[in-house]
């Protein structure tokens, strides 16, 4: 399985994950659109990309921007199917009720060819965070979701009085 897109709809508390699996004649595409509550680790992996959004969009100055990472779109290109990514986010503005919606430039994890400009590549820190987003998304697709905790030791909830 390889992840193509991970998106969290905060207002609806909904997760959308697009992925593909290698079949006999190429890749088969699937989309999971779920209202199941994700593990906090999936949401954290997305929010951990906030500083990368500012860096990739070359937004400098204030360090207290509130960045709401909404989605990551992945691509795989070149002979070695190199992973690339674009991150979509909203940045809160001081003089507006609506956020500034941004998409980072598409960057690859490594060169597609020998002559690739290093400016077109993701830094190592971003690559690690993006791979974590992919891992968390794979867990979600496999059924690993947030669940209510049941207190099996609380006898008052299980005994009839």
Mean pLDDT per 10-residue section of the chain, whose length is 161 residues = 96 94 90 93 96 92 84 91 95 92 95 76 95 97 75 53 45
Question: What is the predicted pLDDT for the residue at 157?
Answer: 47
Q: Is residue 90 part of a domain?
A: yes
In a domain, 152, yes or no: no
Q: Which residues pair with 6 in a beta bridge?
A: 17, 72
Instruction: Provide the domain count of the chain.
Output: 1
Q: How far apart are CA 53 and CA 43, in angstroms?
A: 16
- Look at residue 158 and tell me if it is in a domain: no
Residue 135 lies in a domain: yes
**Residue 159 within any structural domain of the chain:** no
Examine residue 25 and state whether it is found in any structural domain, yes or no: yes
pLDDT of residue 144: 85
Residues 46 and 134: their CA atoms lie apart, in Å, by 10
Centroid of chain to Cα 112: 23
Q: Which residues constitute the domain of residue 85?
A: 2-145
Q: What is the dihedral of CA 112, 117, 122, 124, to 10 degrees?
A: 90
Which pLDDT score is estimated for 26?
85
């Amino acid at each position: 399985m390889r992840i193509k897109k991970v998106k969290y709809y905060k207002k609806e508390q909904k997760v959308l994950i697009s992925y593909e699996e290698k079949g006999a004649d190429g890749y088969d595409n699937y989309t999971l659109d779920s209202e199941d509550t994700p593990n906090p680790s999936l949401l954290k992996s997305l929010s951990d990309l906030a500083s990368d959004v500012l860096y990739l969009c070359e937004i400098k100055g204030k360090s207290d921007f509130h960045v709401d990472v909404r989605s990551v779109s992945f691509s795989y290109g070149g002979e070695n199917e190199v992973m690339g990514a674009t991150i979509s986010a909203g940045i809160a503005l001081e003089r507006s009720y609506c956020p500034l919606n941004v998409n980072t430039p598409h960057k690859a994890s490594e060169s597609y060819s020998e002559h690739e400009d290093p400016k077109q590549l993701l830094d190592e820190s971003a690559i690690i965070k993006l791979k974590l987003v992919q891992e968390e998304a794979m867990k979600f697709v496999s059924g690993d979701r947030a669940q209510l905790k049941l207190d099996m030791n609380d006898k008052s909830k299980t005994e009839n009085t």
